[in-house]
Structure 1
Amino acid sequence: METPRMTTTPADQYRVQPRVWIGIVIYLAYVAVVFTVQQLTGIPYTDLGESGSNLFLGAGLSLIAGAILLAITTTLLGWWRPALFDRHRSGHKWPIIAPAIMGVALIVNLASVDWSSYDAAFLAASVVLLLVGFTEELATRGLLLVGLRNRLSEVWVWFLTSALFGIMHLVNALSGAPIGSTVQQVALAFGAGTIFYILRRVTGSLIWAMVLHGLWDFSTFALGRGTPGPFFALGGVIEIAAIVLALVSVAFVIRGADERIPALRVAAR
């Protein structure tokens, strides 16, 4: 009788087999950690822009804690490679136009910032905000995505990672942000999440999405400091155009995607 042998699959490379529930637990834990740290500082969301110390304690500290915990978790699971890289890039490259348009909006935002209103402390705290690109991307389109790919089709992977990325911003309302603007932020975050997903699929790497995400959040927050330039509203208009194009074109980067992560199995030789 032939003895069974383990087949070689992508899952063999992981310390822990990717599962949907693991991805969801990591996502919920990340949101809980960030929210808890922010609450412990006692600084309302609406007061973050008042000083460098408020910004660092109210937002930067939670991002640092989240980044450390996510890095440790990813290492323990052995999920760095699937979290950061797809096995195959999308066969359609043109949808990258949507992230490129968002890049134009980013430039408009940065050009409209009232940099004269920045002091050294506030600038230093603002730089820490760039960590949001690493933490939120790794939590959603990284580890959550890896877990979802164990059982779900790629269209659900896109939709759920983008939807949960938007929903995580609801906690801002619990931290003092107006509910109306928070709901708007959730909707825009779903669209931005779709843009970041497209960027991952076309480039084959989450790293570029991390960079664009971090710079985008930095630019939008910076616009709230001082008096922005006359064309600051243009960045928002361009962002909407990028989101519309992303929602139209995302089907093309999903089509033919072969990123499913199979379970470990034993096969007879």
Structure 2
Amino acid sequence: MTATTEPRLKVRPRIWIGLVIWLAYVVLVFAIQIASGIPYDTWGESAGNLFFGGGVSLIIATVLLAVTTTLLGWWRPALFDRARSRHRWPIFIPILAAIAGVMNLAGTDWSAYSGAFFAASLALLLVGFTEEIVNRGLLLVGLRSRLSEGWVWFITSALFAMMHFVNIVLGSPVAATLTQVFSAFLGGTIFYILRRTTGSLIWAMLLHGFWDFSVFAAGVGQPGAIVSVATVFYLGTGVLALACVIFVIRGANERLDASAPADSTAADAAEPTR
């Protein structure tokens, strides 16, 4: 009998664990942001509003998520797939999304930024780590203990989109939030494709943080016309992602063995050849 190649996991992956982490993250971030008393649609008015309205919650969440992932022993399966998808060509989709982000930055009114405001906006880059490690990291690990990869893509993308509904309570207009939720589902699919084509969540974290930063930056001051083009371009890229995601799902062998001893290692599992 050959030795197992499963990574060392302190806690066995379970769907409910991933869901609890997702819900805890949503509640934590919402509670901190609502406690700040700063409406979501006023974050762009000053460096203080941005940092205390959004930045503080992301900093706290980053620390707690790092601790949680360490306690579970899920860093490796959360950050890396066993193998990249057999079809690598869909990577052009996240590349197009990155181009949309560059277009946002090209249309940003940088004269509206002060040094303090720019420094505060850098905290938004942490959203790439927090939202990816929650959705396409820890939640994904939990789902892979039981579900097929198609369901893993759909549920992680859907729950990623649904977490944006809290922005309504934080003061965001309903119509704008509904558009954001739809865009987030498309974005979640783009980030999932990037994980599967590279075999790593790290690139998705970087793209996610870059995109969110570019969207916020473009919303400050008087943006150029290219920003509107970038929005349509990104949405079109997301629709294209829906058409192509099947190619990175097909043939995936990422199911985690939830029945294996949680703290086993290859040495522990090895048996003499008979």
Measured against the shorter chain, the TM-score band is: over 0.9
| Percent of aligned pairs with the same amino acid | 60
Q: How does 1:13-24 map to 2 (within 5 A)?
A: 13-24=8-19
Q: How does 1:82-121 map to 2 (within 5 A)?
A: 82-121=77-116
User: Does 2:218 correspond to 1:223?
Assistant: yes
User: Does 2:40 correspond to 1:45?
Assistant: yes
The question of whether the paired residues in 1 share the 8 Å contact of 2:12 and 2:260 is answered with no
The question of whether the paired residues in 2 share the 8 Å contact of 1:84 and 1:142 is answered with yes
Q: Which residue of 2 aligns with 1:187?
A: 182
The question of whether the paired residues in 2 share the 8 Å contact of 1:104 and 1:238 is answered with no
Q: Which residue of 1 aligns with 2:173?
A: 178
User: Does 2:205 correspond to 1:213?
Assistant: no
Letter in 2 for 1:195: I
Farther-moved stretch of structure 1 (232-241 vs 158-167): 232-241
Match of 2:232 among 237, 253, 260: 237
Match of 1:197 among 192, 201, 211: 192
Match of 2:64 among 63, 69, 72: 69
The question of whether the paired residues in 2 share the 8 Å contact of 1:51 and 1:122 is answered with yes
1:129 alignment partner, SS class:
helix
Write out per-residue CA displacement over residues 98-131 of structure 1, whole angstroms, 9 at most, x where no aligned residue: 1011111111000000000000111001001000
Instruction: State how far apart, in whole Å, the 2-side matches of 1:176 and 1:103 are.
Output: 28
Query: Structure 1: 5+ residue runs without aligned partners?
Result: none
Write out per-residue CA displacement over residues 185-228 of structure 1, whole angstroms, 9 at most, x where no aligned residue: 00000000000000000000000000000010001011111001
Instruction: State how far apart, in whole Å, the 1-side matches of 2:66 and 2:180 are.
Output: 27
User: Does 2:149 correspond to 1:149?
Assistant: no
2:220 alignment partner, SS class:
coil
Match of 1:8 among 4, 9, 19: 4
Q: Which residue of 2 aligns with 1:122?
A: 117
Write out per-residue CA displacement over residues 19-53 of structure 1, whole angstroms, 9 at most, x where no aligned residue: 00000000000111100110111101011111000
The question of whether the paired residues in 2 share the 8 Å contact of 1:7 and 1:265 is answered with no
Letter in 2 for 1:10: E
Instruction: State how far apart, in whole Å, the 1-side matches of 2:21 and 2:3 are.
Output: 28
Match of 2:135 among 136, 140, 144: 140
Instruction: State how far apart, in whole Å, the 2-side matches of 1:195 and 1:165 are.
Output: 12
Instruction: State how far apart, in whole Å, the 2-side matches of 1:101 and 1:188 are.
Output: 15
User: CA offset at residue 9 of structure 1?
Assistant: 5.2
TM-score, length-scaled by structure 1 = 0.95
Instruction: State how far apart, in whole Å, the 1-side matches of 2:114 and 2:251 are.
Output: 50
4+ runs deviating over 6 angstroms: 266-269
- Aligned-CA RMSD value: 1.7
The question of whether the paired residues in 1 share the 8 Å contact of 2:40 and 2:167 is answered with yes
User: CA offset at residue 231 of structure 1?
Assistant: 1.5
Instruction: State how far apart, in whole Å, the 2-side matches of 1:258 and 1:265 are.
Output: 17
Count of paired positions: 264
Q: 1:265 to 1:203 in 2, by over 3 A?
A: closer
